[in-house]
Amino acid sequence: MIAATSTTTSEAIWYVIRSTGVVALVLLTVTTVLGLAAAARVRTRRWPAFAQVELHKRATMLALVFLGLHVLSAVVDSYVHVGLVAVVVPFTSSYRPLWTGLGAVAVDLLIAVAVSSALRQRIAPDLWRRLHWLAYGCWPFAMAHALGTGTDAGQLWMDAIAAVCTLAVAVALAWRILEHRTALDAAARVGATTRAVPARHRSGPPSGLRRSPRSSTGAAPRSYPPTGTDRTPTTTQLLERDHR
């Protein structure tokens, strides 16, 4: 009776490991695709920017939840013997060390992204952006872990899920690269056009208005009328001429 109950529990945990791992992989794929789409500035009237950001956050939170369930069930399982240390320290597990280690790398990268996102208001934007790029490196490690250590690898339905996830990430990545190159080409054309415009056609201060340099006391510069022979004499100058 006890042996039967133990076997049933072990099987239940095994099913939890498999199901939560697959769901976490799908959610991580959704998060990666949404992140690439946001970076590529994919916008439509029915798909505004705030909707992408909100969906990206929710998908990331769900991925973390299912990843936590996946890791916890793997730790408590008595068959695979994955310890807590092997969850965060890659390649230290006795159960399929290579593929389990790749999963540990994915966990570490995702934890770094989650912590940096939680501390986004307290860290520099450049540092946050660099850490957030780790999310894109997390996906291939998670996919390799799923195909290498998952018992469902080789099944038709699992291969279909892996193919769809890979195709989605590949299309989003290609779109992101194309958008980046287009932006660089547009910036280069704008720079070339600016350099090609002669200096006399560029906007600047009127040539007839001379300004005196700022004095050492910090006084604002004064404007002087244009010099020439047709300048109208002042009243003081006229009176001096009459006295002469």
pLDDT average, residue stretch 158-173: 94
Neighbouring residues of 194: CB distance < 8 A, sequence distance ≥ 6 = none
Q: Which pLDDT score, from 0 to 100, does residue 94 have?
A: 86
> Look-up: residue for tokens 């450049």?
126
pLDDT average, residue stretch 202-227: 51
Q: Which pLDDT score, from 0 to 100, does residue 133 have?
A: 80
Q: Long-range contacts: 80-86, Cβ < 8 Å, 24+? A: 80/17
Q: What band does 150 get if pLDDT is binned at 50, 70 and 90?
A: confident
Cα–Cα distance measured from residue 139 to residue 181, given in angstroms and rounded to the nearest whole number: 23
CA pseudo-torsion sign 155, 160, 165, 166? positive
Q: Which pLDDT score, from 0 to 100, does residue 143 have?
A: 94
Which position has the higher pLDDT, 210 or 83? Answer: 83
Cα–Cα distance measured from residue 92 to residue 86, given in angstroms and rounded to the nearest whole number: 5
pLDDT average, residue stretch 96-116: 90
Which position has the higher pLDDT, 80 or 65? Answer: 65
Specify the 3-state DSSP secondary structure of 94. coil
Structural contact between residues 146 and 22, judged by C-beta atoms closer than 8 angstroms = yes
Neighbouring residues of 61: CB distance < 8 A, sequence distance ≥ 6 = none
If you average pLDDT over every residue of the chain, what do you get? 78
pLDDT average, residue stretch 78-96: 86
Cα–Cα distance measured from residue 67 to residue 107, given in angstroms and rounded to the nearest whole number: 8
pLDDT above 80 for 68: yes
Cα–Cα distance measured from residue 16 to residue 11, given in angstroms and rounded to the nearest whole number: 9
pLDDT above 50 for 239: no
Q: Which pLDDT score, from 0 to 100, does residue 91 have?
A: 92
pLDDT average, residue stretch 171-193: 78
Lowest-pLDDT range of 14-28, 55-69, 96-110, 119-133 = 119-133
pLDDT above 60 for 62: yes
Lowest-pLDDT range of 28-37, 107-116, 181-190 = 181-190
Which position has the higher pLDDT, 150 or 123? Answer: 123
pLDDT average, residue stretch 154-176: 92
Which tokens in the block code for residue 172?
Answer: 């989003």
Q: What is the DSSP letter of 46?
A: S
